[in-house]
Amino acid sequence: MKFCTKFDSISGKKYISIDTKGQAVLTNAIINKGSAFTKKEREELDLQGLLPPAVSSMKIQLERTYENYQANANNLQKYIYLTALQDRNETLFYRLLFEHIEEMMPIVYTPVVGEACCKFSHIYRKPKGLYINYNDKDQIEKILYNSNITNPSIIVVTDGERILGLGDQGTGGMGISIGKLCLYTLCAGVAPSGTLPIMLDVGTDNEERLADPLYMGLRHKRIRGEAYQEFIDKFVAAIQKIYPNVVLQWEDFLKENALKQLARFRDKLCTFNDDIQGTAGVVVSGFYGALRITGKAMKDQRVLIAGAGASAQGISDLIVSALMEEGLTKEEAIKRIWTTDSKGLVTKDRPKLEEFKATYARAVDEISNYKCSNHSKITLEEVILNAKPTILIGTSGTPGNFSKEVVTAMTKVNERPIIFPLSNPTSKAECTPEDAIVWSEGKAIVATGSPFDPVLFNGKKYRIGQCNNAFIFPGVGLGIIVAGATRVTDGMFLEAAKALASQVTEQDISVNAVFPELKRIRECSKFVACATIRRAVKDGFADSEILENMEKAVENAMWFPSYLPISYEP
């Protein structure tokens, strides 16, 4: 089926032109209206008799679907229900999410999407996106042509090896690609007709998945080394040939692969990694918000990161950029960051340090002055008491990592410690916001990676800002699309961080929240998109002409889930 949006020359209003009639119209989720097709449309499109006679308004459809949504017994069943709705009527699906965004966003993405990925092969209903498996490595171009999305604006691709904090889920990782693209549409208005999720299946090392008779992926251990890279190279080459203008987002790859692919391709096509750059953008934005509460300057911050994965590298690198912008040299900025992993504080005397860890490792002569029980493994609490960081970030995926002793130590060295336990889903958070606030006697400024309820302590309300990448990457993607940018730079994410921080209101600050409320996310995405466009032009990757009517261009590009008239035009 071919369809496109047109303008009526007489009325000046938009409508959708299609070249198909009958049942095919009802099975195309992008144009299907279900019971909302008008009497005239039913006659013109040969839908008479295929639908109950009553014509429903969008309002009635929303009441019906929300009633059915609420009837589901648990969150996974709600996820399945919403997925089925998306499969049959994308406009209604996104409008329902839009009307209940705070309630439903945790269902279609973290934390519930994690459970959905784990159970993917058991809850599978209908294909969506593209599955490119290693055995088809010589047919990738053909597979791309098989997609019904002929000219995507954004692709999200994963190989399923590091799904949230849940590890290797094999082909179940497709749920992440689908979920991320859902957020592009919901949060920034990227049209769903231009989004394409892709799963690269190279096997799985998850024994539970391999032993599951219902598992739908390749049943062998992961392909690695040169063979894996050859597969990735062929995939990227096919993307460049068939979709030369698309934005390619890498998602939930193992740390080493995530860093390698970003470095390998970032200067060859319009691509970025949300786990690295998107996470960094939203975290740094949270810093700017928190500093409005502490009254301190960015240049005076000292940052301790618990967890030394790909996201930690992205965060560290963007912090360095932010500090350098305020006058520090690169060397001075690097020295403001401490990292820990399962072996304790990362130090330069460790053998075979990875490049990222080596960059931020602490010198031996420095730690020799630390007061601690064992200099060969300096604990998180000991790092805090010796280094005196102002900000503590958790990307470890280790629940309980921020113990009472750790939080108390942060309170000892700071009047208002900034503590971000970011690991998700919720079960992987380093501590709960309530624990951080209670243990710090209400002094901690807290933001989390997953949604948490507000905390009441000593009669004061603490709204827990969600350090959610959805505040950053959809707006960045929208800006790249509108600008026609040819590359994605780290500077775009720094500008996006500032733009998001500018949307934190005095009301947000009054309840100790360092991020806007989720219900304002589309508004925030506009500011992020505009900041991205300005930086794309500054960096030389977009034409300056876009700046003339930038805000209007962004607004016009944002798809909103409402029905348009449909006309048959063969």
How far are the Cα atoms of 20, 193, 553 from residue 8, in angstroms, in the given order? 19, 21, 21
Cα separation of 282 and 275, whole Å? 11
Per the listing, tokens 């509460």 go with 293
Cα separation of 486 and 540, whole Å? 9
How far are the Cα atoms of 305, 319, 495, 523, 554 from residue 502, in angstroms, in the given order? 25, 18, 11, 12, 18
Amino acid sitting at position 362: R
Cα separation of 163 and 173, whole Å? 6
Cα separation of 523 and 525, whole Å? 5
Per the listing, tokens 């951080």 go with 436
Q: Show the tokens assigned to 497.
A: 């961080």
Cα separation of 385 and 368, whole Å? 14
Angle (CA) 546 549 552, round 5°: 115
Encode 471-521 in three state secondary structure.
HCHHHHHHHHHHHCCCCCCHHHHHHHHHHHHCCCCHHHHHCCCCCCCHHHH
Q: Show the tokens assigned to 95.
A: 């409008």
Q: Show the tokens assigned to 333.
A: 């900025």
Per the listing, tokens 């500093």 go with 291
* Burial status of residue 88 (CB atoms within 10 A of its CB: 0-12, 13-18, 19 or more): middle
Cα separation of 436 and 408, whole Å? 9
How far are the Cα atoms of 104, 143, 304, 378 from residue 351, in angstroms, in the given order? 46, 44, 22, 16
Q: Show the tokens assigned to 416.
A: 């208002």
Amino acid sitting at position 478: L
Cα separation of 92 and 58, whole Å? 8
Give the residue numbers marked as catalytic. Answer: 109, 180
* Burial status of residue 442 (CB atoms within 10 A of its CB: 0-12, 13-18, 19 or more): middle
Contact in structure between 518 and 102 (CB atoms under 8 Å): yes
Encode 66-82 in three state secondary structure.
HHHHHCCCCHHHHHHHH
End-to-end CA distance of the chain: 10
Return all residues near 104 (Cβ < 8 A) that are at least 6 apart: 69, 78, 82, 96, 97
Amino acid sitting at position 503: Q
Q: Give, to the nearest 10 degrees, the angle between helix 279-294 and helix 490-501.
A: 40
